[in-house]
Amino acid sequence: MASNKKYWKSEAELNPNDSIVEALKQNEFVEQIPVDDFLGDKQNLSSTSTNRRDFLKYVGFSTAAASLAACEGPVIKSIPYVVQPENIVPGVANYYATTIANGFDFASVLIKTREGRPIKVENNTMAKVGGGANARVQASVLSLYDSTRLQGPMANGEPVEWDALNAAVKAKMGSLNVSSKKAVLLTQTYASPSTDRLISEFKAANENIEHVTYDAISEDAALTAYENSYGERALADYDFEKAELIVSLGADFLADWQGGGYSSGYAKGRIPKNGKMSRHVQLEANMSLTGANADKRFPLTPSAQKVVLAKLYGKLNGTSVGGNTSEYDAIVEQLTGEIKKAGAGAVVVTGLDDVNAQTVALAINKMLGSRAFDADSPRYVRQGNIKMLETLISDMKAGRIGALIMDGVNPMYSLPNSIDFKEGLEKTDLSVLFTANWNETAEVVQYTAASNHYLESWGDLEMKKGHYSLMQPTIKELFDTRQFQSALLNWMGSESSYYEYIKETWDQGILNGASWNQALQDGVFASETMAVAVDEGAVVDAIEGVEVETPNVRIASAVRSLANATSNGMELTLYSKVGMGDGQQASNPWLQEFPDPITRVSWDNYVTISKSDAEALGVENENVANGGMDGSYVNLTVNGVTVENVPVVVQPGQAKGSVGLSFGYGKSVGMKEEMRTGVNAFRLYEGFNANQNVSIEKAGGNHEFACVQLHKTLMGRGDIIKETSLEVFNTKDHAEWNHVPQVSLNHQEVPATSVDLWESFDRSIGHHFNLSIDLNACTGCGACVIACHAENNVPVVGKKEVRVSRDMHWLRIDRYYSSEDSFEADNTKKDEFDGLSGDNGSLGGFGELENPAENPQVAFQPVMCQHCNHAPCETVCPVAATSHGRQGQNQMAYNRCVGTRYCANNCPYKVRRFNWFLYNNNEEFDFHMNNDLGKMVLNPDVNVRSRGVIEKCSMCIQKTQKTILDAKREGRLVADGEFQTACSAACENGAMVFGDINDDSSKVSELKESNRMYHLLEHVGTKPNVFYHVKVRNTNEA
């Protein structure tokens, strides 16, 4: 009987012709076991001299040797200085003020050095302009120790001496007099008085020299608009602190718009003071960081933004503006009303790459007399000139260029028409590229001059008129590199160093008798003599090549052309990510692993698309079983140029009919395999315009993303991010908008804060540290994430690991979308659930709440270890590896941890991170901790964790301990503001404030008393030492 039974293993067996069934009949596994891989071919095996006995001998010997070696401690050598530098004490950090100016990021910073090694970037609080280091600047110290850096000059791919390179250039310069060819310096924006002077002297010393400035991501439209109106090629400055109403049309001013650096002013105006805060309206296509912070956001395609801008100008000016659509009239009407009400308190900015749009925006601000608008002392951080660049390329192709010397640019990567450039380069007699890394352009030039990192260089800057800063080396050149300016001096036959040259420039024109040493120590210098504003009408006529027209006529024509803007098909908006910028630091593992604040995707760029467009195209995102997110691929075509296989992220808030794609990715030359991520968006940067018409088609396959946050909404849990409107905040009691959760005690509702499972320790003596996070001031920029990375030796784990949620960031910034139009509506919806099913049933209702709205409200929330006074993690640790300190820190003894991960399971905030692998000295994780150079960035005061232990935010105990020790040694009390964590020090917005709440005069104790204060998950009763401030949105619509 039994033998007659047939057991079917699968449905497939029903099909007698199934190949898999056949294969399985013969073999246990469908695929061959890869025996060959480890046994190799016969020949190989027989030729080896190691037989089985030898193998056993080796095993025996190595085991014995290993165990013997383990018995004896290693001999450790200590090598002191031969001559100890006067200002270096081993173990004590030195700080130097310097400035980053890499053509994209400009900021005054402090560099922390230990034993002569720069290890951390801090904000220079003395700087009035550009004193905030963003995520990229914070990470720039790691790029200094990039193991893929060029170690010396090269000629046609072969190492060469500097003398040979210099001789070649000098010879060429000499011969330019004979041939009628030009020599061109193609450089990044320097904004440097000394470099400007140097280049003009170089021009004077040699004949036929031309200087072309090129920004990879161009602000040419804004520069031209300002030049047309004010006669100088610069950018108007804005102080958003002074603005009552900010209207932004596609300007991502909290990120990199016109050079960035606006967020601290913006954040100051966003904290409600005396019942007032600024109002921010954003009209944009992509969901940008700025849009996410707006009080009111309109998703509009770039062409629609143009129309709105034109009509807005018309309304404000009282003239009627034509145009074909009226669907935006309501928006225009509302904006006009608000702007008129705010008057000089309003400011209008635009990020549209269109001279007309920029001109109109300038005109509106001037018309309003906006207080936040400063055209008198403009900013110089972008100077690229497209016209000159295009002339250069055509000259190159025509063979009119004798020598091309490039610094700080990578045109073969960042030019949309890099093929033309390459063709031109072939006809150029001499080409030299100054670059720190081997890159796409280095492959095609004759000479690659290895240049310095900014931390190895001298330099100076004028970021804003009258605001100067100095760049000084914080370490000697690691390799045989030179900075461009030194080379120029050499070619000019000058004996002096660039340092002397800068000093001369400053002594002559800038310092006006002030102390050079003081300026160098401060890193910044503000000149007292401010230039007088230039009369605008007069200069316009003077500009060459511009049709002479009165300003009014020019604006009128600009408005006309804007109003007629139309689009056909999808519109693409190219943008730069907070974490990657223009891609200069693409081989920086911290930045690659940094999750984008909006999409929370790391290690990639992607097309952002609205949900309805995605459905129409048939593309989607999908969360798969291993916890990762997948996305479909599309092909993007702009003007016949196609970028293939771009993964898609469905982005709530993306304007319908628009898509977004970020610059900075898709680099492949001179980079480690892991770093070659994403696609190169510069291919689509036709005419240096970030707004393009694009056609999209779905491509096959799925992309595996490394996304650190798969849940998108708050599900109506208003107690996680408490939010209220300015009106409610001003008029109602805080119990209403900052409700303390109630729990039942003895069948009575009592505030959760009054119930305790544990007896409280007395923390009133000594320090008690608290961290305050103001959700109003936090823009989600992520500088703190990188600062934490750098300070605490947090490992980089790579794309694969991040994909399976094994990222190690101690500090994450959660981003939440609302499911309804606002978070408040979410809360109401959840409260109104009635029963399980039905229209108001919670079953279907929660399902709906999982999906973000088309144009959702967005909120950011930095979450790190909350250092609970009643910590759930501490009670479950079987080995007491995590315990509580009197000063409030939840401490973690790594050497005691055995890796049970009970604590991580029991943590309600999910902030504990487990070292699944050894992330240092491990070939599998070939990032900075796997090479000697990259390890130089490690903070010697913080342990590098090993495999199998839990780690988490320590509230920078090494920093608080150091502050306390300094005070003890000097026999004084600790002043307020001395206590800092890496994140609070990095936050230029002032959103994070750290300090001692037992010190009544401290800022943090004042913040703790604020009625906006709340704790995360207060009802759990963990009593955290980190607290948040209720987010207030200015929804007052005039």
Partner 1 sequence: MKKVLYRNQFSKVFVFSLVVTLLFSVSLVAQDTVTESGDAVATEDAGASDGDAAAGKALFNQNCAACHALNRKMTGPALANVESRLAEEEGLDREWLYSWIKNSPGMIRSGDAYANKIYNEFNQAAMTAFPTLSNADIDNILAYTAAPPPAPAAPAAGEAATVASGAASGGISNEVILGALALVFALLVVMLFLVNNTLRRIAEANGISVEKERAEKRLPIWKAFAQNQFLVLVTVIFLLLGSAYFAYGWMMQIGVDQGYAPIQPIHYSHKIHAGDNKIECKYCHSSARVSKHSGIPAMNVCMNCHKSIYEYKGNPEGPSQEDLANGYTNEFYTKEIKKLYKAVGWDEENQKYTGETQPIEWVRIHNLPDFAYFNHSQHVSVAGVECQTCHGPVQEMEVMYQYSPLTMGWCINCHRETNVKVEGNEYYEKIHAELSKKYGVENLTAAQMGGLECGKCHY
* List of residues contacting partner 1 (CB under 8 A): 71, 73, 75-84, 89-92, 762, 764-766, 881, 883, 885-887, 889, 891-896, 941-944, 954, 957-958, 961, 964-965, 967-969, 971-974
Closest distance to partner 1 from the beta carbon of 958 (Å)? 6
Q: Which is nearer to partner 1, 358 or 882 (CB)?
A: 882
Q: Which is nearer to partner 1, 91 or 618 (CB)?
A: 91
Alpha helices by DSSP H, listed for 483-570, are 484-491, 498-505, 516-522, 536-542, 551-563
Q: Round to whole Å and give the CA distance between 463 and 260.
A: 11
Q: Which is nearer to partner 1, 637 or 958 (CB)?
A: 958
Tokens of 380: 């110089």
Closest distance to partner 1 from the beta carbon of 808 (Å)? 16
Say if CB 467 and CB 522 are below 8 A apart.
Answer: no
Tokens of 76: 């450790």
The residue to which tokens 């799925």 are assigned: 702
Q: Which helix (H) or strand (E) holds 1017?
A: none
Closest distance to partner 1 from the beta carbon of 122 (Å)? 20
Closest distance to partner 1 from the beta carbon of 871 (Å)? 13
- Bridge partners of 636? 643, 696
Q: Give the closest residue to 605 by CA, choosing from 799, 814, 850.
A: 799
Q: Which is nearer to partner 1, 150 or 811 (CB)?
A: 811
Q: Round to whole Å and give the CA distance between 277 and 182.
A: 55
Q: Which is nearer to partner 1, 708 or 949 (CB)?
A: 949
Q: Which is nearer to partner 1, 532 or 765 (CB)?
A: 765
Tokens of 327: 């669907």
Phi/psi-derived region of residue 838, left when phi > 0, alpha when psi is between -120 and 50, beta in every other case: left
Tokens of 123: 């904000």
Closest distance to partner 1 from the beta carbon of 718 (Å)? 34
The residue to which tokens 């000259």 are assigned: 395
Closest distance to partner 1 from the beta carbon of 898 (Å)? 14
Q: Round to whole Å and give the CA distance between 267 and 776.
A: 7
Q: Which is nearer to partner 1, 492 or 964 (CB)?
A: 964
Closest distance to partner 1 from the beta carbon of 59 (Å)? 24
Closest distance to partner 1 from the beta carbon of 315 (Å)? 59
Closest distance to partner 1 from the beta carbon of 79 (Å)? 5
Q: Which is nearer to partner 1, 6 or 77 (CB)?
A: 77
Q: Which is nearer to partner 1, 2 or 71 (CB)?
A: 71
- Bridge partners of 581? 577
SS3 848: helix
Q: Round to whole Å and give the CA distance between 408 and 411.
A: 10
Closest distance to partner 1 from the beta carbon of 1007 (Å)? 22
Say if CB 223 and CB 232 are below 8 A apart.
Answer: no
Rg of the chain, C-alpha, whole Å: 31
Closest distance to partner 1 from the beta carbon of 872 (Å)? 18
Say if CB 238 and CB 373 are below 8 A apart.
Answer: yes
Closest distance to partner 1 from the beta carbon of 118 (Å)? 19
The 10 Å Cβ neighbour count of residue 622 is 10
Q: Which is nearer to partner 1, 520 or 864 (CB)?
A: 864
Tokens of 337: 């009303």
Q: Which helix (H) or strand (E) holds 791?
A: helix 783-791
Taken as a whole, the chain contains a residue count of 1038
Q: Give the closest residue to 432 by CA, choosing from 784, 183, 132.
A: 183
Q: Which is nearer to partner 1, 619 or 938 (CB)?
A: 938
Q: Which is nearer to partner 1, 724 or 954 (CB)?
A: 954
CA separation, residue 761 to residues 756, 764, 870, 885, 888 (Å): 12, 9, 9, 10, 10
Q: Read off the DSSP letter of residue 818.
A: -
Closest distance to partner 1 from the beta carbon of 94 (Å)? 12
Q: Which is nearer to partner 1, 243 or 974 (CB)?
A: 974
Q: Round to whole Å and give the CA distance between 506 and 524.
A: 12
Say if CB 795 and CB 925 are below 8 A apart.
Answer: yes
Say if CB 905 and CB 777 are below 8 A apart.
Answer: no
CA separation, residue 844 to residues 711, 822, 848, 856 (Å): 17, 19, 6, 20
Q: Which is nearer to partner 1, 66 or 538 (CB)?
A: 66
Alpha helices by DSSP H, listed for 584-712, are 589-593, 611-617
Closest distance to partner 1 from the beta carbon of 889 (Å)? 6
Closest distance to partner 1 from the beta carbon of 890 (Å)? 9
Q: Which is nearer to partner 1, 297 or 945 (CB)?
A: 945
Q: Read off the DSSP letter of residue 943.
A: P
Tokens of 825: 């509506």
Q: Which is nearer to partner 1, 527 or 883 (CB)?
A: 883
Q: Which is nearer to partner 1, 94 or 564 (CB)?
A: 94
Closest distance to partner 1 from the beta carbon of 798 (Å)? 24
Q: Round to whole Å and give the CA distance between 443 and 36.
A: 38
Q: Round to whole Å and give the CA distance between 513 and 506.
A: 10
Closest distance to partner 1 from the beta carbon of 582 (Å)? 37
Q: Which helix (H) or strand (E) holds 965?
A: helix 957-970
Say if CB 452 and CB 481 are below 8 A apart.
Answer: yes
Tokens of 4: 């007659």
SS3 432: strand
Closest distance to partner 1 from the beta carbon of 943 (Å)? 5
Q: Which amino acid is at 968?
A: K
Say if CB 769 and CB 994 are below 8 A apart.
Answer: yes
Q: Which is nearer to partner 1, 33 or 75 (CB)?
A: 75
- Pairing state between β 296-299 and 182-187: unpaired
The residue to which tokens 């708050």 are assigned: 714
